[in-house]
Structure 1
Amino acid sequence: MPKASRIVVMLLHPDAQFYIDTLPTLSAEEQVSFGKDAPVSEADATHVATDQDIAGVPVRVYTPLSGAGDLPCLVYFHGGGWSGGTLNMIDATVHSLVVGLPIIAISVDYRLAPAHPFPAAIDDAFAVVSAVLDGVSGLSIDTSRVAIGGDSAGGNIAAVTAQQLRERAVGSTPVLAHQVLIFPVTDVSTTSTPSYLTFGKDCYLTKDAMERYIEQYADGHDRTDPRLSPLLASDLSDLPPTTIVYGECDVLAHEVRAYGQALLEAGNSVTMTEFKGQIHAFINLGGISSDARAARRLIRAELEAALC
């Protein structure tokens, strides 16, 4: 009988398997860019990117080259286990989510663990989004058309921020127009779910790596706190319409599905799409993955429908 690890490998999409097989052959420097998109050329750009601060937090703002008046906005939080990731790393992905649309995107360079453990990232996220919603970001934004989003740890930050912002809502109408959660971490209290057990060794993001990330970020805090584990919040009602995207062969798949189902059961509008055979972080592999490009098109269409 074949070993379980061999069965897992057979589940992987060819693009994902190619990525996993190639990484060990590259230098550390080459691994950073392998599979990613080429930098957006001036000829292809539909937005101009500028680095600045909002509420004292460094951000990169993508402003449409066309469009007038107050525009809708996406505030985005990158992944990296709360301890890595940069604005440059996520640059092509963020641009791809709003390319061709009259939407301002704000990519947030929140503070990272272990130097800045929980709740530093949440505090930075809340400060930036609050400044946007309060109309004090210095940008021409329609505050009634603001969405937030993120991938992995950034998806966790987005989900937590959306929950925190409910107190600003008028009645049951969410203050945010939409949220985009891309393979988000939703429960750091356990690494023993079925997807951790099945995909925790041979599918890019490992169980051991996630446990290190969680340990650095949680820093001894109660891991059942909903600000760490948004899935464990006692009330998930009155949250913004949500788009969820994730890969089947991801250690986080179980908790991602659980969060989507919990949002639905709480009466929220949810679109949840699983990409078969895909690994964690696949959406950033636009240079080699057709699924990455398809996921971005899906999210872009959801944002256009929600904001434009």
Structure 2
Amino acid sequence: MLLYIVAAVVGALPLVVVAAGYAALPPGLEDRWRAAFILALARIIHITPYKIYELLGYGSYFDNILIVQREADKGMDAPPKSAACHTLKVGWEDLAGQRVLVYRPRDAADSEKLPCLVYMHGGGWCMHNPIFCDHFMHRVALMSRKVTISIHYRRAPQNPFPDAFHDCLDVTCHVLEHGETLGVDVTRVGVGGDSSGGNIAAAVAVHLREEKYQHLPPLKYQFLLHPMLQALNFRLPSHLDAGDFCPILDRYAEAGFWALYMGLGEGLTV
């Protein structure tokens, strides 16, 4: 009897999750049930606890953003999980006064100069850290055989714009200036990032075109994944067609993250 009950609960779990975290999906998605389940589960994990906090009088999601940061930063003193794979040299270093997570090919000779990606993680300028994208960075470094540097930049709301931008700019300039000691070919350096990190990477690339940086080698490329590049219009087709079903980053949440990054945002709700 117990086995039947367990089987019924397990079988009903996907329906329960989808019902609890349902959001209308845009047309054209393949495997809609799977997408609905994953997105609903993400909504329950990432949003529901803070909705409960709000109901209990502890403020909105944005009021509790520092709790999110503290949870994400647990274990930052330990080596990342990818270090256990022993396929790359992975470890924390300090560059230009910033803590960075560096991935290096193990088979690189001491005199070899490798291409380099300087990466800025996403998280609305408020959340996450290099550990969050460790698996992805490990795969990028392994498949492309390049030195990959993931920056633990300062985050809002404690450190609003332009602190994160300056942290990432300083690290990028340091890499371009010290390629010899870092084992980096400075003619093959690019910047990249996802979401808010893509915004910072794009800003760094634009800034390095200014005259005072012309003594540095030019960047080779930008590697931008769904970057947040504008905050003027939240009713563009991409926002209307696909933005409001996302577990975390619907239009209202995106506007809230922009506000925190710019040093605004008292009493934000999501």
Tell me the TM-score normalized by structure 2.
0.68
Aligned to 1:208: 252
Q: Could you tell me which of 214, 222, 232 is aligned with 1:189? A: 232
| Contact 1:46/1:100 (8 A) holds in 2 | no
Secondary structure of the equivalent of 1:40? Answer: helix
Q: Name the residue aligned to 1:108.
A: 151
1:122 equivalenced with 2:157 (yes/no):
no
Cα deviation for residue 132 of structure 1 reads 0.4
Amino acid corresponding to residue 23 of structure 1 in structure 2: A
- Return 16-25 or 63-72, whichever deviates more: 16-25
C-alpha distance in 2 between matches for 1:137 and 1:13: 48
- Written as runs of structure 1 = structure 2, the 5 A alignment for 1:49-68 is 49-68=90-109
CA contact (8 A) 2:122 2:193 kept: yes
The counterpart of 1:12, out of the listed 29, 36, 44, is 29
Q: Structure 2: how far apart are the matches of 1:177 and 1:199?
A: 32
CA distance in 1, matches of 2:171, 2:82: 25
Question: SS where residue 180 of structure 1 aligns?
Answer: strand
| Distance in structure 1 (CA, Å) of the matches to 2:152 and 2:180 | 15
Query: In structure 2, do the counterparts of structure 1 residues 83 and 195 end up closer, same or farther at CA, with 3 Å as the change threshold?
Result: same
The alpha carbon displacement at 1:129 in A equals 0.3
Corresponding residue for residue 119 of structure 2: 76
How far off its partner does 1:71 sit? Answer: 1.4
Change (3 A) 1:94 1:53: same
Indicate the larger mover: 135-144 or 67-76. Answer: 135-144
Amino acid at match of 1:67: A
The number of residues matched between the two structures is 206
Normalising to structure 1: TM-score of the pair? Answer: 0.60
Distance 1:98 1:201, change over 3 A: same
1:166 matched to 2:209? The reply is yes
Q: Is the 8 A contact 1:64 1:101 kept in 2?
A: no
Tell me which moved more, 185-194 or 78-87.
Answer: 185-194
CA contact (8 A) 2:104 2:141 kept: no
Give, as a single letter, the amino acid of the residue that structure 1 aligns with 2:108: G
Residues 127 and 25 of structure 1: CA distance in aligned 2, closer, same or farther (over 3 Å): closer
Instruction: Output the CA distance in 2 between the equivalents of 1:16 and 1:48.
Output: 35
Which segments of structure 1 move beyond 4 Å, counting only runs of 4 or more? 24-29
